[in-house]
Structure 1
C-alpha cells in the first residue's frame, strides 16, 4: 500500500512538473516570436527610413532648383525695374531742362517791344532787298523791273489795295478835315463791347436817358482802365506830333511862286493835285510858245 501511494505521488509530481514546464516553454516560444517580429519591424523601419530619406533628398534637390529659378526671375525683374526707374529719371531731367529753356525764352520775348516781330521781319526784308538791289546793279540790270517780273499779280493787287485803303483826298472843308483827323486818332482805341453789354443790362431802360430819366452823375462812369488807355493814346499823339514839328529845309534853287509862308503852303497843296494837268501849260509859258 505504501508503494502504491508513493507511485501515485510520483505520477502527480511528474504531471505537476509537466504542467509547469509547458507554460514555460510556451513563454519561451512567445519571447522568440516577439524578438523575431521586433527585428523584422526594425528592418522594415530602416528600409522605410532609407526610402523616405531618398525621397526627401529628391524633394530637397527639386526645391533647391526651384529656388534658384525664382531667385533668377527676381533678379531679372529687379534689373528691369531699375532700368525703368533710370529712364524715368532721365525723362524728368530732360523735361526740367526744356521747361527752364522755354521759361528763359518767354522771359526774353516778354522784355522785347510789342512790335518786335514785325520790326524784325521788316529789317530782314530790307536787308534782303538791299542785297538783291546791289547784285542787280553789279550785273547791270534794272532792279525795279526784275522785282516786278518776280512779283505775282495777286501781291501787286494787294499792295495797290493797301495804298488805296485810306487815301488822302486833300482839303475840302474844315468839317471833313476834322472828321478825318478824328477817325485817324480814334482808330487805335477800340471799345470794350463786353463792358458795354454788362452796363446796358445793369442799367436797363436808363441806359438811354430821356426827358423822364432821373439818373444823373453816377451813370456812365468811365473806368480807370479806359482813362489809362486814353492817357496812353494822348501821350502817343503828343510824341508823334513832336517829331513832325521840326522845321522843313528850304530849297534855294526852287522857283519862288509865293508871297508868304501861307501862300507857299497853299501853292504846294494845289501843285500836288493840279501839276499833272498844268505842267505842259507852265512849260509853254516858260518857252514863250503858249497860245
Structure 2
C-alpha cells in the first residue's frame, strides 16, 4: 500500500515544480517587459523634451563643418573642389541643385530694397497670395441670376453676328456695364470677404506700426509724433522747437483739443 502511494506524491511534487518554473518564467518575462517599456518611455520623453530647432541647427552646423573640411582637404592637395564634389552627383541632382541656387539668389535679390515701386509690387503680390482662390461657383451663380433677371425684364436680347455667333446685347446697361452704368455700385460683398479685407488692413497697419516702433527705438526716440522726413529735417525741427515751443505750445494744444477758432 505504501509503495502504491508513492507515485502520486512524486507526480504532485513534479507538477508543483513545473508550476513554480512556469511562474518564475512568467515573472521574469513580466520584469523584462516592464524594463523594456520603461526604457522606451524614457527615450520617448527625451525625444519630446529635445527642441527640434536645436537639432536642425546642429545638423546644419555639422553639414557646414563637413563641407569646409572637405573643401580645405581638396584645395590643399591641389584639386578642384567643385569637380571633386560633382563626382558624387547625378545629372538630375546637379540640375536640381543649380535650380535651387538660382531660386535662392533670385529670392535674395527680390527681398533687397530697390525702390518704392518694387516694394509696392511685392506687397501687391503678397496680398494676392494671401487672398486665396476666387469663388468661381458663387460668381457663376450670380452671373446666371443677373442674366435671368435681365432676360425677364426684357433688356437682354440674343443677336446673331455675321459669322453666326450668338451674343447677348444689353439695352440699358444693367448687365453689361457701360460708361453710364451704376450697377457696380449696388453690389454687396459677402461678410466673409469684408472680414478678410478688414483683417488684412489691420495686419498691414500693425506691421507698419511695429516697424515704426523698432526704427524709433533704434534711433533712441521716445515714441512721440513724427514731424520730420529725414535726419536733416529732424535736426531742423529740434532747433525750431528749442526757440519757438514756448510760444506755440498753447496754439498746438488748442489744435489737438479741437478748440482752436
TM-score between both structures, scaled by the size of structure 2: 0.44
Which is greater in Rg?
1
TM-score between both structures, scaled by the size of structure 1: 0.40
